[in-house]
A = this chain, B = another copy of it.
Amino acid sequence: MSVRYKITVAYDGAAFAGFQRQPNQRTVESVLEKAVTIMSKSDVPVRIYGSGRTDAGVHALGQVFHFDFMHEIPEMSMLRALNSLLPLDVQVKKAELVSDDFHSRYSTHGKRYMYRVSQGEFTDPFKRFYTGHYKYKIDIAKIEEALPDLVGEHDFSSFVAAGSQVTNHVRTIYEATVREDKENHEIIFEFYGNGFLYNMVRILVATLLEIGNGRRPVHDILRLYEVKDRQQARETAPASGLYLKKVYYPDELG
């Protein structure tokens, strides 16, 4: 009888070619599978299942994956053992024994993303991998006025990257916030919803920045819902500013 572990993990995406396994690339998934496989002392690689992909350069504060393990060991021992086997840019935050019907991807009922934008004429050398940089002026009041347009169920066809193979573009956003961190010259967005399309958060952020800068009308997002045309949302904010903050499962609140 095998047991199932749910693992919450943080990673710095800067040195990874994204989450998903790819031949000859350093990915988060391959690094995690390697650690879990070493622990299993098995000749067969242990497969892990992530809640979803993140792109190259995208970070995670609370990505979740699960795997099945041949013998039960205490949660804290699992956490410590994995951390001792993982490289320094990946860190297990939590290890939990879960029932066999838990699935990191199919049991999800929501995700929360954070996006950090750094301001100022030049990119801060310490932030180049950890923020998106936007050097133009931002009127945060305009963004605050636009954000309620995101909340609720909408067709996000204008906000999905060309590469996506998903055909249903309707998603629900429960919460969309922005705050200014004046001391660090940053603007920080958070989006909590039932699911996000490919590049959706990065396209939304780029659109919101254009609204804040006055290049778009404040309520342009309402128009973009109607036109369902990716060409009109134009920009995609860089991967470096994006953080998968939390993956939600039943019995967890936003």
Interface residues in chain A, defined as those with a beta carbon under 8 Å from any beta carbon in chain B: 10-12, 59, 83, 88-91, 122-126, 128, 130
The answer to whether A91 and B59 touch across the interface, beta carbons within 8 angstroms, is: no
- Chain B residues lying within 8 Å of A126, measured Cβ to Cβ, are 10, 12, 59, 130
The answer to whether B88 and A123 touch across the interface, beta carbons within 8 angstroms, is: yes
The answer to whether A12 and B125 touch across the interface, beta carbons within 8 angstroms, is: yes
The answer to whether A128 and B89 touch across the interface, beta carbons within 8 angstroms, is: yes
The answer to whether B125 and A90 touch across the interface, beta carbons within 8 angstroms, is: yes
Taking CB as reference atom, which chain B residue is nearest A120? B91
CB distance from A135 to the nearest CB of B (A): 11
Chain A to chain B: the 9 pairs with minimum beta-carbon distance, closest first: A12-B125, A88-B128, A89-B125, A91-B125, A12-B126, A83-B122, A91-B122, A10-B125, A11-B125
CB distance from A201 to the nearest CB of B (A): 19
Question: A126 to B130, alpha carbons, bound, how many Å?
Answer: 9
Question: A89 to B127, alpha carbons, bound, how many Å?
Answer: 9
The answer to whether A128 and B12 touch across the interface, beta carbons within 8 angstroms, is: yes
